[in-house]
Structure 1
Amino acid sequence: MNGLLLLALAFILDAVMGEPHWLWSRVPHPAVIMGRVVSALDRTLNHGEMQRLKGVIAVLVLVTVAGVTGWLLQHLGTAVTIVIAAILLAQKSLVDHVGAVAAGLRESEQAGRQAVALIVSRDVSTSDTSATSRSAIESLSENFSDGVIAPAFWFAVGGLPGIAIYKAVNTADSMIGYLTPKYAAFGWAAARLDDVLNWIPARVTAALIAVAGRSTSAWHNVQQDARLHRSPNAGWPEAAMAHTLKIALAGPRSYHGKVQELAWVNGAGRRTLAPHDIDAAIAIVWKAWGLAMALCVCIGGLIWVF
């Protein structure tokens, strides 16, 4: 069985099982293990001079460990490959966390803020319903790319080594890829490699969202708005979602008590958002997920037959 058909089975397994608490409360999740490796490299190398070079070395070590581990696991058989791939996808856990924000907002603004604080890094302590809903939809759009389509893409390209390397780099970027005095130099390699690995998947994700939402006619506007985002990749799925739902995303927000005046994505869109907008975004993501799985089945089936 080829990699695309294995990926389709991993998609289904992840959608059914998600992140079972009974398992990950007993053993560390692979992402947790990756995080521990990144932390160890940070403690060992991130001091003294030549921090950018040390950051490059850290990423090379991380990529090597992840790739070799994926290669070894892949040789344990088809079933193990499917299970590991499913574990490294995050569709169900993503929509569950974002759905919890909508459920929280229907209870109270405070409950919604508490739920969204679990999935975003910005300051949401004073967010109203619109700001909380916007944060949830942005997180859903970006993480559908980072947590589902990008790992799936790299599994299709390189099997378990490919998806393991991607997840390791993405984890490193989330931990050390910040423009702070501590990580501006040491985290440079992780941040840049993460940008490279997400370049194609982010645009594929935007296309899937646009097709799922029947908004391909707005593709030119998606391209224009994606470039307004501070990230070279995150703007693509966010712009596609914004135009699909005809809402405005991004815009000013607060980090660590300091407001950043970021550009609006689809600034002409509706800015008053509510829980039903989160529900609509989740529905679009499930349709896009279905399209991705259907492509895996169709292309993988043709490869298998011919």
Structure 2
Amino acid sequence: MFRFSLLSIKTNLRNSAFHKVIIRNYATHRELKERVIRYTGSSSYGGNTNGNGWWRMWWAPVSFTAGVIAFDHLIIPHVVDHKVESKNVVFGLIALNVVGFIAWRIPAAPRQFMLRYGLLQKNPILFRRFQLIGSAFSHQNFWHLAINMFVLYQFATPVASIMGSSGFLGFYLDSCVLSSLGSMLIPFLLRRPQMIPSLGASGAVFSCLGVFCYLIPNAKLAFWFIPLPINAWNTFLLTIGFTTLATVSRRPIAFSGNGIDHAGHLSGALCGVAYGKYVQDKINKRRQLYNRRFG
């Protein structure tokens, strides 16, 4: 039985003092406002969306996401040895998240590196391309890390065994950048752009959940150690229904606050379903080919 936790979160950093420190490292509030005007043609982050300023802003995350996806599908299959056990890829990803957690606690260079690349800045002035993937391996809180890695191990292990080592690694990195892009893009499209940075692996974890529930819809899940009365796919639909409502709602709903990046969760889940369909279609084609040859 696979254990499932609804508590996996991609956290928005709402500690105002910490956020002020981050901003102070780059510019004063007046300087930030002046730079936003230069980038967007408006003094408000939600201002003029028709000018070239917004294209200058979105070109960086969109082009980086496209580059990562191209790398994952063109390079990784030739680099990652198919003899590598899929579970070792999962363990490697968990290890990288642990390294990111430790880096936050080391002064000087490692911590400065995490401040620069381990936070997904929604502010166009502070954003850097590698934050799209770096933030997905970044955790500041131990329980945030522990819950994400527990859920990742539960769902990524069977998914990796189905997709294979290189296929799963490419999928996971795709999920990192796509969920991060969605975390920025969805609030912008809803005209409620966020200025608070986020971090955490749960966008990619939700992708693993989506693939798992699509490929094995009748699996029995548990909320921690308590069995759920419905199957995996229905649990997924309920979870995504809540996540969608929390993302689009203009009013706070139960559990929609507390710094949870629902847009990143929703993006990751949709990415997972898309990959699940892609994998299932490949399986069906292979099965049909086998039946034609040997059936």
Shorter-chain TM band:
0.3 to 0.5
TM-score normalized by the length of structure 1: 0.33
Report 1 or 2 for greater relative contact order, CA contacts < 8 Å, sequence distance ≥ 6.
2
**Structure with a larger share of its residues in helix:** 1
TM-score normalized by the length of structure 2: 0.34
